Structure 1
Amino acid sequence: MPPKIIQTRSSSPWKRRVGACIAKCTVTAGWRTKVCRNVNMEKLQNDYLFPEITTRRFEHIQKYPDAKLISLGIGDTTQPIPNIVTSAMAEYLLKVYKPCFSLWNVKIDSPLNIQKLHKRLNVVLYFQRLVNPYDGLQYSLALSTIEGYSGYGAEQGQQALRKAISETIYRDLGIKDTEIFVSDGAQSDIARLQMLLGSNVTVALQDPTFPAYIDTSVIMGQAGDFQEDSDKYGNIEYMKCSPANFFFPDLSTISRTDIIFLCSPNNPTGYAVSREQLKELVEFAKENGSIIIYDSSYSAYISDDSPRSIFEIPGAREVAIEISSFSKFAGFTGVRLGWTVVPEELLYSNGYPVVKDFNRIVCTCFNGASNIAQAGGLACLSSEGLTAIHGVVNFYKENAEIIAETFSSLGLEVYGGKNSPYTWVHFPGQKSWDVFNEILEKTHIITVPGRGFGPAGEGFIRVGAFGHRDSILEASRRLKNHLR
């Protein structure tokens, strides 16, 4: 029998103390600790967006077990990682776990044999074998040898990779490798930056925007209570971005805040800010003494002259932090690898360098990205790796064009899809969750309701371009047949 849920209100000293933290607390019957729940967790509205999408997907599969579901929702890449990248990861594995592979009678005595081996046995099999319980003995034996053992790396990332990011991604922008911190992804870095900033800062963010910015702000205690009438949290400055203002906020109407989150190309709208707009934002931050946290995770998708980094703008080094990722750039959604740039010129109000505090956060809370992932990241930034990865990015951009054309042919207003893998589609007068449910029910296609990205996302859906070409074409056919 499941535990009984009860509402507790009591005049006992301990429960009065709990009540000071939580006015009305839902607990399970039976023994419990005397630790108050983080009051900021109670402020969060519903579940995080993407697990909710996953839940509805599962329910739909249960309802229609024979339906061929197409997922254009959660932005998970689908194309294989280029061979040059996986080869570098496999070679690292082969070197580190040489004793383990010798038990399988695998010769790895030359680069040529390594390449031949990779062609015969896909690198995925190595990962599978290393985590297969049946092969746990060999894995353990490898760790008990000098050749097979690998311990902590530098918390900030391998020097070779930091240098490659500096010279390849930020060439001619003056970003030093010591200002780059390699991580396990941009989303993790958002949380680390929030820890760095603390609970006493004020925050502004785009509306709509990636939900991790707002949720981490709430969890850190930067936000006030949720306002039902406005669908917004108190103490958060929502910068509305809509077709009416070309998805860039009117900064003359924005109150001064300590922190400004901005993602370009934006998730979910797909809009990339122009150079003039970004100059305006940097000047706004300098005038107000604010710090911009700039998310450039989708910069590889930019086709026009929109800036790929905020550090292309003069003065940005004094007011900005940039986070980025290999996830959508190189298909590392499962591999997990990203980076954050904190310039030396960025100072707190007392003159102390922000980079020194972020280094302390990283060293305290993170033991460094996976060595295997970093080997792959380094291969991504080679000339051959960049060529291969750009080919995959272009494939997704072609998918986005197909999706945008599909919704346009249905007479809908379509945004994004040019500098981004996301298409932002407007359904006037409709609730975005209703649109999500209708498309799922009629076409067996997963999208993402715009409301999940903020109140300004109501009436929109986000459609991702991550899918195999046959799935994208099939989705286009279904949409045209069922939504006319």
Structure 2
Amino acid sequence: MLKPNTRYGDLKEAYLFNTIYRKTNEYLISNAGKKVFRMGVGDVSLPLCPAVIQALHAAVEDQGRAATFHGYMPEAGDPALRKAIAEHYRDGGVEMDEHEIFVSSGACDDLGDILELFERDNSVMVIEPAYPEYVDTNLLAGRRIIHLSSNEEKGFLPEPCEEARADILYICSPNNPTGAAFSRSGLQAWVDFANEIGAVILFDAAYEIFIEDKEIPHSIYELEGADRCAIEICSLSKTAGFTGTRVGYTVVPRNLIRGGMNLNEMWARNRETRTNGVSYILQKGALAVFTPEGQRQIRDNLRIYKENAACFMRALEAAGIWYTGGKNAPYLWMKCPDGMSGWGFFDYLLKEIQVVGIPGEGFGACGRGYFRFSAFGNPEETKEAANRLYHLLERG
């Protein structure tokens, strides 16, 4: 008799961001004519840069000619793209073998698939507040999850401790949702801890391009010993606006060995089984990101998102509200006023100023009383939303 995965019953009734969409749409139905400023879900608003568009068009033309047509792509990615990514790491001071890089259809997919490298009886540590997928994917697999709470006192950047001891350690820096980013010494402590206990770090580096401070690593492989304990998962979604184009990459070092098995070789074999490769067209678009012109153009867009973040930072500072993030990350994590819960503040903002953000409770219990804003919105709408937020907070 077939047995369904009953652990689906342990998930929340709806995925966090779908709940936000639903509540926002219900408000619009009841308030016809109102304009809502969506500063919550972290989807980008600027189009793909010209270098990428040109490469995508050229790749489409390639597919229309027998001499340049491409069918299945290599499971681990186009060799030219893997080489370009390796060179990008080297430009940042990290030596990287292109065979340690695996092109994917996005970080979200690899965050789930990478767990196939580990037995289900491995334990998992998730620093909360956290991106919901870290918890949901492991909940569905039946793994024991250690919820390591972080707090305002330490800037939502906890240190390794006995309670964090697990087989798999999730670290996201700059963090989603808090925007907090580990310093070099802070992240080194986690690398040392992982090597000491034999754990593997799953390092989510989706937002590294937003880092400004020199003391904050862009890659975990900048740190001593990280190639022996860490897998780095990266995305072009926020880096280059690929949320609708879907390309990312995962780095599995050749030095990463557990139980006598080489995780790089295991992941290569996994890719042979689980994927036929990312499409030729999309990989050609991604390759353009790593050209000098592509890098210049995506950083032009980045400056716009950073100014969006600065708008919210100015509003919160003027209103005397505690927050983290914004400078080195595209997210701002604010403390709700007057002891409000995150969901209470969500309803308050929607009703009073038609601004949508994300309640902190959606990212774990320790997010109660906090709220996340995204800097990926339309610039003019972001300015208006930040202005409305300031005046609302000012009048109390």
Q: Give the counterpart letter for 1:80 in structure 2.
A: P
Say whether residues 1:90 and 2:57 are aligned partners: yes
Say whether residues 1:463 and 2:373 are aligned partners: yes
Shift of 1:35: 2.4
Which residue of structure 1 aligns with residue 80 of structure 2? 160
Note if contact 2:202-2:232 (Cα within 8 Å) is conserved in structure 1.
Answer: yes
Which residue of structure 1 aligns with residue 142 of structure 2? 221
CA deviations over 1:230-270 (Å, ceiling 9, x no partner)? xxxxx322222222112221323424210000000000010
Note if contact 1:195-1:220 (Cα within 8 Å) is conserved in structure 2.
Answer: no
Note closer, same or farther for the CA distance 1:454–1:61 as it changes in structure 2 (3 Å cut). Answer: same
Shift of 1:36: 2.4
Note if contact 1:198-1:220 (Cα within 8 Å) is conserved in structure 2.
Answer: no
Shift of 1:163: 0.4
Note if contact 1:406-1:476 (Cα within 8 Å) is conserved in structure 2.
Answer: yes
Note if contact 1:180-1:342 (Cα within 8 Å) is conserved in structure 2.
Answer: yes
Shift of 1:73: 0.7
Which residue of structure 2 aligns with residue 184 of structure 1? 105
Question: Which runs of at least 4 in structure 1 moved beyond 4 Å after TM superposition?
Answer: none
Which residue of structure 1 aligns with residue 172 of structure 2? 263
Which residue of structure 2 aligns with residue 151 of structure 1? 71
Q: Give the counterpart letter for 2:249 in structure 1.
A: W
Shift of 1:482: 3.2
Note if contact 1:348-1:354 (Cα within 8 Å) is conserved in structure 2.
Answer: yes
Note if contact 1:291-1:319 (Cα within 8 Å) is conserved in structure 2.
Answer: yes
Say whether residues 1:314 and 2:224 are aligned partners: yes
Which residue of structure 2 aligns with residue 420 of structure 1? 329
Note if contact 1:269-1:416 (Cα within 8 Å) is conserved in structure 2.
Answer: yes
Note if contact 2:155-2:324 (Cα within 8 Å) is conserved in structure 1.
Answer: no
CA deviations over 1:201-225 (Å, ceiling 9, x no partner)? 1000111011110110101110xxx
State the secondary structure of the residue aligned to 1:251: coil
Say whether residues 1:35 and 2:2 are aligned partners: yes
State the secondary structure of the residue aligned to 1:314: coil
Q: Give the counterpart letter for 1:343 in structure 2.
A: P
Structure 1 CA distance, aligned partners of 2:3 and 2:325? Answer: 44
Shift of 1:357: 1.3
CA deviations over 1:347-402 (Å, ceiling 9, x no partner)? 112x1101111112212111111222111111110011101111111210111010
Note closer, same or farther for the CA distance 1:284–1:275 as it changes in structure 2 (3 Å cut). Answer: same
Note closer, same or farther for the CA distance 1:72–1:91 as it changes in structure 2 (3 Å cut). Answer: same
Structure 2 CA distance, aligned partners of 1:93 and 1:250? Answer: 48
Structure 1 CA distance, aligned partners of 2:170 and 2:300? Answer: 30
Shift of 1:175: 1.4
Which residue of structure 2 aligns with residue 330 of structure 1? 240
Structure 2 CA distance, aligned partners of 1:255 and 1:405? Answer: 35
Shift of 1:147: 5.0
Which residue of structure 1 aligns with residue 270 of structure 2? 361
Q: Give the counterpart letter for 2:64 in structure 1.
A: Y
TM-score computed with the length of structure 1 as normaliser:
0.78
Which residue of structure 2 aligns with residue 340 of structure 1? 250
Structure 2 CA distance, aligned partners of 1:148 and 1:437? Answer: 54
Where does 1:83-482 land on structure 2 (aligned, <5 Å)? Answer: 83-97=50-64, 146=66, 149-171=69-91, 172-222=93-143, 235-305=144-214, 306-349=216-259, 351-427=260-336, 429-482=339-392
Structure 2 CA distance, aligned partners of 1:65 and 1:196? Answer: 50
Note if contact 2:178-2:332 (Cα within 8 Å) is conserved in structure 1.
Answer: yes
Shift of 1:182: 0.2
Structure 1 CA distance, aligned partners of 2:282 and 2:303? Answer: 23
Which residue of structure 2 aligns with residue 5 of structure 1? none
Structure 2 CA distance, aligned partners of 1:36 and 1:217? Answer: 19
Structure 2 CA distance, aligned partners of 1:453 and 1:56? Answer: 17
> Which of 30, 38, 41 is the matching residue for 1:74?
41
Structure 1 CA distance, aligned partners of 2:68 and 2:32? Answer: 45
Structure 1 CA distance, aligned partners of 2:351 and 2:116? Answer: 41
**Could you list the runs of 5+ residues in structure 2 that have no partner in the other structure?**
none
Structure 1 CA distance, aligned partners of 2:164 and 2:51? Answer: 48
Structure 2 CA distance, aligned partners of 1:147 and 1:441? Answer: 59
> Which of 30, 42, 58 is the matching residue for 1:63?
30
How many residue pairs get aligned? The number is 391
Note if contact 1:192-1:362 (Cα within 8 Å) is conserved in structure 2.
Answer: no
Structure 2 CA distance, aligned partners of 1:361 and 1:237? Answer: 27
1 or 2 for the larger relative contact order (CA 8 Å, sep ≥6)?
A: 2
Shift of 1:304: 0.6
Q: Give the counterpart letter for 2:55 in structure 1.
A: A
Note closer, same or farther for the CA distance 1:40–1:198 as it changes in structure 2 (3 Å cut). Answer: farther
Shift of 1:65: 2.4
State the secondary structure of the residue aligned to 1:461: strand
TM-score computed with the length of structure 2 as normaliser:
0.95
Q: Give the counterpart letter for 1:150 in structure 2.
A: H
Q: Give the counterpart letter for 1:384 in structure 2.
A: E
Note if contact 2:107-2:206 (Cα within 8 Å) is conserved in structure 1.
Answer: yes
Note closer, same or farther for the CA distance 1:271–1:366 as it changes in structure 2 (3 Å cut). Answer: same
- RMSD between superposed Cα atoms in Å: 1.4
Note if contact 1:262-1:292 (Cα within 8 Å) is conserved in structure 2.
Answer: yes
Structure 2 CA distance, aligned partners of 1:250 and 1:150? Answer: 48
Note if contact 2:228-2:256 (Cα within 8 Å) is conserved in structure 1.
Answer: yes
Worse-matched range after superposition: 238-247 or 255-264:
238-247
State the secondary structure of the residue aligned to 2:324: strand
Note if contact 2:159-2:189 (Cα within 8 Å) is conserved in structure 1.
Answer: no
